[in-house]
Structure 1
Amino acid sequence: MHIQKVVLHTAHLEELYTFYTQQLQLPLIEKSATYFSICAGETTLIFTQSTTGQPFYHYAFDIPSTQFDEAKTWIQQRVPLLTEKGEDEVYFATIDAKSLYFEDPAGNIVEFIARLHANEGHTAPFSEASILRMSEMSLVVADKVAAAKQLEDVQVVPRNGDRVDPDGGLYFLTQQNMPIYLLLVSPFRRWFFSTKEALIFPQSIYLKDGTKIDIDEQHKLHVTKPLLL
């Protein structure tokens, strides 16, 4: 699975534009009065003006496996890191990865994750050009079991064959067990490294195979199959 493009809503369009294009210096693709798009490695990220509420999301970007410490220094020069139990980074032993977290001006919880078993071969100093791709995108839904069934139709399934339980926590869904995930979660679960609880907001996720996944203004999930499926 590859996340090709994501469209997120925001009540802080200009603040996000400044943050992502000036503080983080991610390449601008396009800008209008109601949206802008940026390049984050292999992924296009689009922010569009929200008509209601204060949307926020959680998403993660892969960074080179050998550059976690460099990336941490780089991001700390631009934005404070979030903490969990006094720590500003975490090691996930089950997937051999290290992560750090920060918030953007809209309250999006952004993660940099270095998957230590990978070997991307980057030798240049860490910069905005070192960001590889969006590798995790939150998908907050009212009914995780029903959502999992919809996503199964496009071969997006729980990692390691996990069974989605309505009373369970966070589920990592992917295709062909690749390390790129949709994070399926119910409302009001606290996001790791944040005091915020997950809430449902409109969004669109475009996968490289042509699959499109939407949550609309009424919080309904729509999954559109690619033509070849």
Structure 2
Amino acid sequence: MLIKELQLYSSNLKAQADFYIKVLGVTCIARNDQYVSLQMGNSILTIVYKPEAKPYHFAITIPAHKEVEALAWLKARVVIEQEGSNEIIDFTAWNAKAMYFYDPDKNIVELIARNNLKNTVPEPFDTSQFLEISEIGVPTVTIEKVYTQLNAVTGIQIYDGSFDRFCAIGDERGLFICINPKVKDWFPTNDKAFASAFEIMVVEHQKTYRMQYEDEAFKLLG
């Protein structure tokens, strides 16, 4: 599943735009006083102004085996959120390695190298190696209901986890990371998870779906 577009909300739009454009060097493709759109490889991240916005978690795929280079590059720009003393988190079961940081809205942003994708490149790491958005967090107390909605619309399956506290739905290219905020916080920061509204466009089996997540439910848009 490819996450083609992701629309999040921010109460701090200028700081968010400046961070991604000036600090991380992400390409801006459109911007005004109400939104900013950023090209992240195969994906577009759009951040829209909304005064009551709450934080999110999302992940960006980087090339396989590039986590050490990416960490050095990232540490020159942001503070890394660690798990204990670990700056790079080894997800052995997923054959992936990741690192985490906050943006100005306290969104938990993850860079993840998924080695099964075999997409490594020889060039030194920079933002041109932000390949695509590959995860969006979906806090909900009814994980099974969310899975049923997503499966009915797109046919995507469970990648890992269960309906109790954590369930990754999709595949290695694109995942909805569902957690039950009553029993689990966001890893690795232990931040409280909010069921923040977002819009998303995904491509699955050559079909495109645009959906809205709001009030812990997905709705297919036109």
Q: Above 0.5 in TM-score?
A: yes
> In the alignment, what sits opposite 2:158?
158
Match of 2:97, SS state, is: strand
Q: Verify: 1:2 aligned to 2:6, yes or no.
A: no
Matched residue SS, 2:93: coil
Letter in 2 for 1:19: F
Q: Under a length normalisation based on structure 2, what TM-score does the superposition of the two structures give?
A: 0.91
Is the 8 Å Cα contact of residues 16 and 104 (structure 1) preserved in structure 2?
A: yes
Give the 5 Å matches for 1:90-169.
90-153=89-152, 154-159=154-159, 164-165=162-163, 168-169=164-165
Distance in 1 (alpha carbons) for counterparts of 2:23 and 2:43: 19
Of Structure 1 and Structure 2, which has the larger fraction of its residues in strand? Answer: 2
The unaligned stretches of length 5 or more in structure 1 are: none
The aligned counterpart of 1:48 is 48
Out of 176, 183, 187, the position equivalent to 2:181 is 187
Offset of 1:147 from its aligned partner?
Answer: 1.3
Matches within 5 A, 1:202-217: 202-208=197-203, 209-216=207-214
User: After TM superposition, where is structure 1 displaced by more than 3 Å over at least 4 residues in a row?
Assistant: none
In structure 2, list runs of 5 or more residues that go unmatched.
none
Aligned residues: 217
What SS class does the counterpart of residue 80 from structure 2 fall into?
coil
Q: Aligned partners of 2:4 and 2:121: how far apart in 1?
A: 22
3-state SS of 2:117 partner: coil
Per-residue deviation at 1:125? 0.8
**Residues of 1 paired with 2:3 and 2:167: CA distance?**
17
Aligned 8 A contact 1:210 1:225 in 2: no
In the superposition, the TM-score normalised over structure 1's length comes to 0.89
Q: Following the alignment from structure 2 to structure 1, what is the Cα–Cα distance between the partners of residues 103 and 172?
A: 27
C-alpha separation between the residues in 2 aligned to 1:126 and 1:183? Answer: 26
Give the C-alpha shift of residue 197 in structure 1: 1.3
5 Å-filtered alignment, 1:82-93, equals: 82-93=81-92
Residue matched to 2:60: 61
CA contact (8 A) 1:211 1:223 kept: no
Post-superposition shift, 1:211? 1.2
Over the aligned positions, Cα root-mean-square deviation in angstroms equals 1.7
1:171 matches 2:167: yes
Rounded Cα–Cα distance in structure 2 between residues aligned with 1:112 and 1:121: 14
